[in-house]
Chains A and B, each alone.
Chain A
């Protein structure tokens, strides 16, 4: 999305520099300086303490839990995202508005509310609480609850990336394949799927980043039991509140590196995109 235009010939040079300084200064003060400082603080005393901070058992367990949750949530939302996009764009049924609203809802809800919602359903005094206790299944303050909330918060991304692309490519190729005798599955696998692969990739990257970064909802639902139900984000908070700043910064740096990798991948995918008008994250038309 770095389409650039020649600066208007009569735009005051002074004005242009003022805008540039204001914009870049804002970004530097808000984004770049704080992030750079954390990197600096982490490695200030060398690699040793930083490495120690992320290789102790609690930190390693937090990394493991985070990866397990992400490894479940992302594929689930990817499958759902593709199917839902196809259903919304290609099928005709009543209630499409509701489907759209439900898919968008996770973007408008506070994560703490999400955690509360699942607590009210699967907690001990929740709607399914007694049924779960009878069967000895533990959802809240355990991994299943954390997975569920992570699925909730990272749900919309694949859908929202694929829907516009599906709309744009139209059904001609799919119809052609159908008239040549392809089954629904064949059409899907050989026509539709390849056409949406960059949108799906983009959505998967966004979903993964969101899943890795989830904090508020897992904070509520997990009980934050150190060494058992802590994710990396929770671990950062726990270390900070224990005054272990190097520990907190080091874990934050791991997460930040993952975030930066996400940015790089997003940019690579953007360049591979044959069409430049795919929806940007945040560039969602308000319905």
Chain B
């Protein structure tokens, strides 16, 4: 998309510009930068040994491993199901399609604790279908799948919409079956979008708290995710350990976002040639 005419830079002499920039800087510093600095600083406060102990003790490691494993699993499932659902929303036609499309945003609008509660109602101890996954790792997967649902779908949908059908039609006219067309023409074009969605879903999943806290039972070493562990450390009056694990989570999020960003740029390198 061609960028609109280059933005006219505000002359520094205009008082409005300086005021606006000052406001933005102040707001962001007070609301975002300062609190974040406090966490990172507190993590290291107390020396490297305490930081290492906080990160490498058994319970913390268990929580981190569980969180990462669950988030990776959820990312993979989302990559598949998200693409499927994006497909049926764009390439298929059925009654109620626009309602389904609207419902996709529900996890963005619904409070996480309510999401967890609804899953608990259906798949928990008092559920009507006799399925009970409360206090299990499956429950964690369910909760994370709920809250990360929209990311891949909303990333893939616009790309699917804009996809040029000519390539597929050309392939069909050359004798390719639907599966081949899918595999060799459509999917490669969707990969950057899927990767974006997966990165966002992953970053969201590793930090999820509200949806997990009711349904997982938060059993240490079994169903305790990193965010719940951090919460526990805060409640136990150990903010340094909490800050240490928080910094680890933050580092992972940033690494994934930047990593996938780089991957996307590599995957689309020919489009920018």
Q: Which residues of A contact B (CB under 8 A)?
A: 1-8, 10-12, 15-16, 19-20, 22-24, 26-27, 30-35, 37-38, 41, 80, 83-84, 86-87, 89-93, 99, 102-103, 105-121, 126-127, 148, 151-152, 155, 167-172, 174-175, 184-185, 206, 209, 212-216, 219-220, 232-233, 236-237, 240, 245, 248-249, 252, 255-256, 259-260, 262-264, 266-267, 277, 280-287
Contact = CB atoms under 8 A, between A and B. Distances in A.
Interface string B73-102: 000000001001101111111100110111
Contacts of B177: 10
B118 interface: yes
A116 B146 contact: no
Contact of A236 (B17, B81, B114): B114
Contacts of A167: 3-4
Nearest to A253: B114
B121 interface: yes
Contacts of B170: none
B85 A83 contact: no
B157 A1 contact: yes
A20 B254 contact: no
28 contacts: A2-B98, A5-B161, A8-B91, A31-B106, A41-B121, A87-B21, A99-B28, A107-B203, A108-B253, A109-B250, A112-B209, A112-B230, A113-B227, A117-B35, A120-B35, A168-B4, A213-B112, A216-B227, A219-B231, A232-B111, A233-B112, A236-B111, A259-B106, A259-B110, A259-B111, A266-B105, A284-B200, A286-B199
A209 B210 contact: no
Contact of A27 (B28, B85, B246, B249): B85
B135 interface: no
Interface residues of B, number: 114
B122 A8 contact: no
B contact patch SS: helix
Contacts of B242: 116
Given A90-B10, A126-B38, A236-B111, 14 more contacts: A1-B154, A8-B165, A8-B172, A15-B178, A37-B122, A80-B24, A91-B21, A105-B32, A109-B207, A113-B230, A116-B239, A185-B16, A249-B121, A266-B105
B89 to A, nearest CB: 7
A23 B90 CA distance: 12
Given A5-B161, A263-B103, A112 B111 contact: no
B4 A4 contact: no
Interface in B134-184: 142, 145-146, 149-151, 153-155, 157-158, 161, 165, 168-169, 172, 177-179, 181
A282 to B, nearest CB: 4
B31 A148 contact: yes
Contacts of B172: 8, 10
Contacts of B165: 5, 8
B60 to A, nearest CB: 14
B257 interface: yes
B97 A4 contact: yes
Contacts of A19: 84, 87-88, 92
Interface in B7-40: 7-10, 14, 16-17, 20-21, 23-24, 27-28, 31-36, 38-39
A3 B155 contact: no
Contacts of B42: 120
Given A91-B17, A155-B31, A120 B8 contact: no
B109 A263 contact: yes
A5 B90 contact: yes
A237 B117 CA distance: 9
Nearest to A285: B196
The 9 closest A-B pairs by CB, nearest first: A110-B207, A213-B111, A117-B35, A170-B4, A92-B9, A34-B118, A216-B209, A215-B210, A282-B154
Contact of A111 (B154, B195, B209): B209
B54 interface: no
B108 interface: yes
A40 to B, nearest CB: 9
B38 A4 contact: no
A213 B110 contact: yes
Contacts of B181: 8
B186 to A, nearest CB: 10
Q: Most chain-A Cβ atoms within 10 A of its Cβ — which of B149, B153, B165, B234?
A: B234
Contacts of B149: 30-31
